[in-house]
């Protein structure tokens, strides 16, 4: 295929792709996301293909649709009819149109969502850039390159108040501006696709299912910041994710959307893929940058920010997969539109990985400000086995738990942080009334003691000592003074560690000592 | 972070109520020691790049009305910075860190002296007697000064350890042994001899039977 060398060329290509597609033609989209894949969606694809070959019906293998609990999932267009738990023997009925499906907008799990980022997943074969182009892909890049200056792009991202989705909620526009203005001869942009948090799977769902959406955001960001080199840091253990990223890069390059002289604009940008080294701390910004340099992933003190001095001491702008995925719609639909969604301080939508004791586990996307009740009960379908809800935990091993009575709290960076349960990356763990909160804290600390780098004392030793105390408490061997020891360790770990892993490692424990202290006291003889 | 030379602008900051002159690029620890204000350290060594691992040298700093806790061995001096080398919080950090380390090396003279100063209880936490506190002085000295890398870190998290590399150690260590004196717990020496006994008994260079 010939490289596109102008905005008009891109639109001509898009018109050509669209004109070859008959919107009335039936298409069967089979989810091959992690959950459905494990539920043998590949056999369903084979059966559907065999059946569909007899008629003129397309079968598309796509990324995650969202409702992983009920996989393998199939969606038939036009009409967006959903079929759940599909088995190979259901193929004839689905192809013939006799099997009864449910319209997507009538499925409770989907109807309370606003799927701006993940909604295209059922419409896209992630290995075909044409599917992304047919849905308007790379129009935002073209607009940013030809109708806007880099400063105007930056301004839109700032005005949209896009905040980082990787855990910290830091304003993306401010970070971009710092990296853009830091004096240097070279600067870099990076996608953080490490997603090492247990219970978080939304980045993989988005990146595997729609890699061009992330890539388009990255290229727009690179242009705004003035970077000509970018890095995608991602999981070494997800073959499909790697394949889709590499295919996307190759196809974008072949169309002239990446590489030299993008769309004839004169802007050059290349992207390299790097793999994590399998420990959680490698997702931390400075550790990730050391890893890209080829060093062990040990965090550096950030008295100078990585946006000023990162990879090879050059300004390096790191954003999360979901953060980058938000960029193209901000450019195409405008900051005012974007900022109209959400709350005062948290704009846009947020992907949430629902797991734990919930009926519908999976990936949901809701506007910021949505009450947690809607997420858990309407979208999630409530607590599994109709048990009472006890607590909700956000942010995995660096997050926190809140009790059921706070379920009307809105999904909002600041509101949840104030309660000690920051959104983090968006992993939401639902806990029923049988959950042992001492054991939950122990579980998270056990994870982190083996996933830190081990360099600094209050993290390496503090976590280990907290783990020992919690383990003995869960074994019925709590001692007087344990709670005071835990509180001291948690406080010092929070103040004295080098990186955010250590600094926030005691947050789950602290949130539980705040909201569920009685359960801890009950483990100490005579109230301790 | 690199120590920059040559020094440029002169900076005045305040440490424990004293006006202290420093030059740009210096760390708070360097500025403090030039004014004979002492801050405890374990992983710091003048000849080595600052490392920031033991966190014992933490101090309270205030800049533009914002208070925070930073490691003085890495934190750069800045104009009008206010530094407090002792406060309730700083002392608590040091006390708990010492208690954590004493679980590994309860008899280290250096730790015992500091424990006394900060009221640390060597028996507060369950013992985990590895004797090594992973300050990395041996590892960094061997890499930065000797350029040999005969001893390095292995594994991560709570399983992190130092390990002598037999192939290098058998050739290099006997004639050097300089890291032994740097070790606050004598573990480096023990680790070397254990490696020798297990991996290359009787084969060290300079061995005269
Ligand atoms: C221990 C640790 C692990 C992290 N892991 C991830 C991760 O897997 N993905 C991610 O995007 N951010 C992760 N972060 C946050 C990053 O350091 C960084 O803040 C983020 O990638 C910045 O992007 P954002 O501003 O778009 O959120 C982690 C932070 C810490 C301390
Ligand atoms: S806080 Fe933990 S993970 Fe971070 S640098 Fe220290 S030891 Fe490593
Ligand atoms: S001397 Fe500063 S952290 Fe060890």
Position B204 in a domain:
no
The verdict on domain A22-111 having CATH code 3.30.559.10 is: no
d(CA A72, CA A40): 7
Confidence of residue B130 (pLDDT cuts 50, 70, 90): confident
The DSSP string of A222-254 is: HHHHT-SEEEEEE-TT-HHHHHHHHHHHHHHHH
Inspect the interface and report whether the beta carbons of A458 and B97 lie closer than 8 Å.
yes
Instruction: Choose among A449, A468, A498: nearest Cβ to B52.
Output: A498
pLDDT tens-digit map of B77-91: 999 999 999 999 999
Classify A60 as helix, strand or coil: strand
| Chain B positions touching chain A (beta carbons under 8 Å) | 1, 52-56, 58, 69-71, 74-76, 89, 92-93, 96-97, 100-101, 103-104, 124-126, 128, 133-134, 136, 153, 155-160
Position B26 in a domain:
yes
- pLDDT score for A56: 82
Position B205 in a domain:
no
List the CATH code of the domain at A437-521.
1.20.1440.230
Give B-chain residues touching A488 at CB under 8 angstroms: 92, 96
Name the fold adopted by A137-161+169-339.
Rossmann fold (3.40.50)
Instruction: Please indicate whether residue A421 or residue B4 has the higher confidence score (pLDDT).
Output: A421
Range of the domain at B158: 137-199
Give A-chain residues touching B3 at CB under 8 angstroms: none
pLDDT tens-digit map of A44-61: 999 999 999 888 899 999
- Residue range(s) in chain A whose domain bears CATH number 1.20.1440.230: 437-521
Mutate which of B31, B32, B44, B136 for ligand 3 pocket (most atoms within 8 A of beta carbon): B44
d(CA A484, CA A474): 17
CA–CA distances in Å: residue A465 to residues A485, A488, A519, B88: 9, 11, 20, 22
The H or E element containing residue A474 is helix A457-474
**Alpha carbon A134 to its chain's center:** 24
* A283 alpha carbon, closest ligand: 1
Same domain, B63 and B108: no
CATH of the domain at B53: 3.10.20.740
Q: Which of B72, B95, B129 is the last residue of a domain?
A: B129
Instruction: Choose among B1, B69, B101: nearest Cβ to A304.
Output: B1
**Of all atoms in ligand 2, which is nearest to the CA of residue B157?**
7
Mean pLDDT of B78-105: 95
Query: Is the backbone of residue A99 left (phi > 0), alpha (psi -120 to 50) or beta?
Result: beta
Q: Is any ligand 2 atom within 6 A of the Cβ of residue A458?
A: no
d(CA A376, CA A407): 9
pTM: 0.94
d(CA A52, CA A41): 16
List the CATH code of the domain at A349-432.
3.10.20.600
Residue A484 in contact with partner chain B when CB distance is under 8 A: no
Residue A492 in contact with partner chain B when CB distance is under 8 A: yes
Site of tokens 């394949």: A243
The H or E element containing residue B171 is helix B166-172
Mutate which of A163, A194, A278, A283 for ligand 1 pocket (most atoms within 8 A of beta carbon): A283
d(CA A218, CA A5): 20
Instruction: Kindly state the percentage of chain B with pLDDT values over 70.
Output: 94
Site of tokens 């900022």: A339
Residue A461 in contact with partner chain B when CB distance is under 8 A: yes
- Omega within 30 of 0 (cis) for the link into A78: yes
Instruction: Choose among B92, B103, B157: nearest Cβ to A450.
Output: B157
* A81-83 and A102-103 strand pairing: antiparallel
Mean pLDDT of A173-194: 97
Are the C-beta atoms of A431 and A384 separated by less than 8 Å? Answer: no
Query: Residue B71's CB: how many other CB atoms inside 10 A?
Result: 28
Are the C-beta atoms of B152 and B169 separated by less than 8 Å? Answer: no
3-state helix vs strand vs coil in chain A, percent to 5: 50, 15, 35
Mean pLDDT of A291-318: 92
What is the complex's ipTM, to 2 decimals?
Answer: 0.91
- pLDDT score for A528: 47
């Amino acid at each position: 295929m010939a490289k596109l060398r102008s905005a008009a060329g891109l639109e001509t290509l898009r018109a050509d792709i669209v004109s070859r597609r008959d919107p009335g033609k039936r298409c069967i989209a089979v989810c091959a996301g992690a959950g459905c894949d494990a539920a043998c969606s590949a056999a369903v694809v084979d059966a559907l293909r065999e059946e569909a070959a007899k008629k003129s019906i397309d079968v598309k293998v796509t990324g995650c649709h969202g409702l992983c609990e009920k996989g393998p999932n199939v969606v038939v267009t036009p009409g967006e009819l959903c079929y759940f738990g599909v088995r190979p023997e259901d193929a004839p009925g689905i192809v013939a149109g006799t099997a009864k499906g449910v319209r997507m907008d009538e499925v409770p799990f989907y109807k309370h969502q606003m799927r701006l980022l993940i909604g295209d997943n059922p419409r896209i074969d992630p290995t075909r850039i044409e599917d992304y182009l047919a849905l308007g892909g790379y129009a935002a890049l073209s607009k940013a390159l030809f109708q806007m200056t880099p400063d105007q792009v930056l301004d839109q991202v700032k005005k949209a108040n896009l905040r980082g989705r990787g855990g910290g909620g830091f304003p993306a526009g401010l970070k971009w501006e710092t990296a853009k203005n830091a004096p240097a001869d070279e600067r870099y942009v990076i996608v953080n696709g490490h997603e090492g948090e247990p219970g978080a799977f939304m980045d993989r769902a988005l990146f595997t299912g729609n890699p061009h959406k992330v890539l388009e955001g990255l290229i727009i960001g690179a242009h705004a910041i003035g970077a000509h080199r970018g890095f995608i840091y991602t999981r070494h253990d997800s073959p499909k994710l790697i394949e889709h990223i590499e295919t996307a890069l190759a196809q974008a390059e072949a169309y002239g959307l990446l590489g030299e002289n993008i769309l004839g604009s004169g802007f050059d940008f290349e992207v390299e893929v790097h793999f994590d080294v399998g420990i959680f701390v490698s997702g931390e910004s400075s550790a990730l940058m050391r890893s890209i340099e080829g060093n062990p992933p040990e965090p550096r003190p950030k008295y100078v920010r990585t946006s000023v001095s990162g990879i090879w001491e050059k300004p390096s702008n790191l954003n999360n997969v979901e953060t980058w995925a938000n960029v193209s719609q901000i450019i195409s639909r405008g900051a005012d539109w974007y900022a109209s969604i959400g709350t005062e301080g948290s704009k846009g939508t947020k992907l949430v990985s629902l797991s734990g004791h919930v009926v519908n586990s999976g990936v949901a996307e809701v506007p910021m400000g949505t009450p947690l009740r809607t997420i858990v009960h309407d979208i999630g379908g409530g607590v599994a086995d109709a048990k009472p809800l006890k607590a909700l935990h956000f942010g995995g091993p660096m997050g926190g738990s809140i009790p059921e009575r706070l379920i009307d709290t809105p999904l909002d960076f600041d509101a949840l942080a104030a309660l000690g349960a920051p959104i983090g990356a968006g992993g939401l763990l639902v806990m029923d009334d049988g959950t042992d909160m001492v054991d939950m804290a122990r579980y998270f600390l056990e994870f982190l003691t083996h996933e830190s780098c081990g360099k600094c004392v209050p993290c390496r030793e503090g976590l280990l000592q907290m783990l020992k105390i919690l383990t003995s408490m869960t074994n019925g061997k709590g001692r007087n003074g344990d709670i005071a020891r835990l509180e001291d360790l948690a406080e010092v770990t929070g103040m004295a560690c080098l990186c955010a892993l250590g600094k926030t490692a005691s947050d789950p424990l602290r949130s539980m000592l705040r909201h569920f202290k009685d359960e801890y006291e009950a483990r100490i003889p005579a109230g301790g | 972070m690199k120590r920059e030379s040559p020094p440029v602008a002169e900076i005045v900051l305040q440490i424990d109520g004293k006006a202290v002159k420093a030059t740009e690029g210096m760390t708070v620890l360097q500025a403090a020691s030039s004014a004979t204000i002492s801050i405890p350290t374990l992983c710091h060594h003048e000849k080595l790049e600052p490392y920031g691992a033991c966190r014992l040298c933490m101090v309270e700093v205030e800049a533009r009305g914002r208070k925070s806790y930073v490691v003085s061995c890495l934190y750069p001096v800045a104009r009008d910075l206010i530094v407090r080398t002792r406060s309730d919080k700083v002392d608590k950090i040091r006390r708990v860190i010492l208690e954590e380390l004493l679980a590994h090396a309860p008899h280290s003279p250096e730790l015992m002296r500091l424990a006394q100063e900060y009221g640390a209880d060597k028996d507060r936490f369950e013992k985990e007697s590895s004797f090594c506190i992973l300050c990395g002085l041996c590892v960094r000295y061997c890499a930065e000064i000797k350029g040999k890398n005969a001893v390095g870190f292995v594994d991560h998290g709570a399983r992190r350890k130092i390990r002598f590399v037999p192939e290098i150690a058998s050739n290099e260590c006997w004639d050097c042994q300089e890291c032994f004196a740097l070790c606050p717990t004598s573990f480096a020496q023990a680790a070397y001899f254990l490696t020798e006994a297990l991996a290359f008994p009787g084969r060290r260079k300079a061995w005269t039977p």
